[in-house]
């Protein structure tokens, strides 16, 4: 339960830290850290406007997507405390819950009948399909490393295996989770949330028809996904057996560092050309394969 609360708290502080980092990096005063949360509050008070071309799918998709993300949150453990929902192979359940939420977001964009939103949905589906192997390869690596297939067991035994290479796997895992989170949340270098050029938009063009309360739910889901991936990063770099108060402090520190990293990347890194994105995403999977092969060698599987 502690992990669940921490993820919720960090999720609503996450976007403000990103915005503040980008403001400082560009030499601007910029908005305050709480500005994104204030915008969410304003959107929640507004009604939603629906086009005549949309159907029930468009109206239900934001709620279903957010519900899937919240359910996926329940399988993430914290320290030595097991997740609220834990079973063998729960990382597959986690991945496909997020996939289900994204599926409804995609078909909602298609439901508008807009060629621009259909283009964005096409790209979102394609990039998600390319990054999915990276996640499963990485979790398969951790499963072989620890001998367990649930998040709670994997992370509670990650640093007690006695393997001298655990630091290498922690660094690789931390790096890959950052890259996967950037792709899954449509951020640089794959997508730019602030772009206004329709031909290069991906996620933002998908939600052009959303407004008011529904748009607030979409943004809340995006913030939660960032925090969930931050929690996964925390679990691969911090041993589960440390003091609980130190764990809480380190959890928030990892989330803040993750948000600052995103802000710096979006301040100093250019967006990829659209035709280079598949190559970039497949490179993430290639790094995961390297870690997987190393595990096979060290465990005498090959």
Distance CA 104, CA 180 (A): 20
Distances (CA, A) of 248 to 4, 16, 149, 260: 12, 20, 25, 19
Instruction: Report if residue 164 sits inside a domain.
Output: yes
- pLDDT at 252 (0 to 100): 92
Distance CA 1, CA 16 (A): 24
Instruction: Report if residue 262 sits inside a domain.
Output: yes
- pLDDT at 146 (0 to 100): 84
Number of structural domains (the chain) is: 1
Residue ranges in the chain modelled with pLDDT below 70: 161-164, 196-200, 299-302
Of the candidates 6, 10, 9, 5, the residue with the CA atom closest to the CA atom of residue 258: 10
- pLDDT at 242 (0 to 100): 83
- pLDDT at 239 (0 to 100): 85
φ, ψ (nearest 5 deg) of residue 300: 60, 30
- pLDDT at 120 (0 to 100): 87
- pLDDT at 161 (0 to 100): 56
Distances (CA, A) of 103 to 64, 109, 125, 195: 10, 10, 8, 23
Residue 225, domain extent: 2-297
Instruction: Report if residue 120 sits inside a domain.
Output: yes
- Cβ neighbours of residue 12 closer than 8 Å, sequence gap 6 or more: 37, 223
The pTM of the full predicted model, rounded to 2 decimals, is 0.90
Instruction: Report if residue 302 sits inside a domain.
Output: no
Distance CA 12, CA 144 (A): 34
Instruction: Report if residue 45 sits inside a domain.
Output: yes
- pLDDT at 163 (0 to 100): 63
């Amino acid at each position: 339960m502690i992990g669940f609360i921490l993820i919720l708290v960090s999720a609503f502080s996450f976007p403000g830290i990103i915005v503040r980092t980008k403001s400082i990096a560009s030499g601007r005063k910029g908005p305050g850290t709480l500005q994104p949360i204030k915008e969410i509050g304003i959107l929640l008070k507004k009604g939603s406007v629906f086009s005549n071309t949309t159907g029930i799918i468009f109206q239900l998709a934001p709620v279903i997507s957010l519900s899937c993300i919240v359910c996926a949150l329940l399988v993430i453990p914290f320290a030595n405390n097991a997740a609220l929902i834990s079973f063998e192979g729960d990382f597959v359940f986690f991945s496909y819950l997020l996939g289900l939420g994204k599926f409804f977001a995609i078909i909602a964009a298609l439901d508008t009948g807009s060629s621009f939103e259909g283009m964005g949905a096409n790209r979102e589906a394609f990039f998600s399909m390319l990054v999915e192997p990276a996640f499963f390869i990485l979790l398969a690596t951790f499963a072989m490393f620890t001998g367990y297939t649930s998040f709670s067991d994997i992370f509670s035994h990650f640093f007690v295996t006695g393997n001298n290479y655990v630091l290498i796997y922690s660094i690789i895992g931390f790096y890959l989770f950052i890259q996967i989170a950037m792709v899954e949340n449509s951020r640089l270098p794959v997508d730019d949330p602030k772009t206004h050029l329709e031909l290069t938009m991906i996620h933002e063009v998908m939600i052009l028809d959303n407004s008011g309360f529904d748009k607030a739910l979409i943004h809340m889901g995006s913030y939660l996904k960032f925090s969930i991936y931050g929690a996964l990063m925390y679990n691969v770099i911090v041993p589960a057996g440390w003091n609980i108060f130190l764990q809480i402090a380190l959890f928030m520190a990892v989330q803040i560092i993750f948000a600052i990293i995103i802000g710096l990347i979006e301040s100093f890194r250019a967006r990829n050309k659209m035709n280079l994105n598949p190559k970039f995403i497949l490179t993430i999977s290639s790094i995961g394969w390297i870690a997987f092969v190393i595990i096979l060698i060290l465990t005498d599987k090959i």
